[in-house]
Structure 1
Amino acid sequence: MDREDIALALALFVGIALTGQVAGLVRSAGFEGLGTLVWPVGYGSIVLAAWLVWIRPMDLDARDPDDPDIWGPDEEQTEPDR
């Protein structure tokens, strides 16, 4: 893991904890409806941030059929030593 991954993980953790704290504070202040709205908005923004930073940049395209197979067996078959 590099620094960016650690920073994003920390930001997500703080975002999740902060969402719970804000929802609890809003509900304890007497705004039950608003406290219920804080949960999906808070967690939705955390999921969106994770998607934008971690998942979206991944290269999930199918590879070109003309590319060599890097996971297949070697071209040369060798006999094992007996």
Structure 2
Amino acid sequence: MPPIVSDHREDTDYYSHAGALYRLMSEEQKALLVSNIAGAMAGVSSDVVDRQLQHFYKADPAYGEAIAKLLNVQLNEV
């Protein structure tokens, strides 16, 4: 009998844990996280920034919006 192999791609929830963690953070922790991410993304090509902002937004809209604001990017343009 062949071994049972679980397909790790069956789960399509890639964002709820990141969003839940973000919402657990204090305002100061959120500000530090967003600042660090935005700082690390400075100088990154716009197509990479656009893709990443979509992921942050899917985790939590406020998360994506805060990073976009620091990068001077409008999310409706992404």
State the TM-score, normalized to the length of structure 2. Answer: 0.31
State the TM-score, normalized to the length of structure 1. Answer: 0.30
Higher RCO (Cα < 8 Å, 6 or more apart):
2
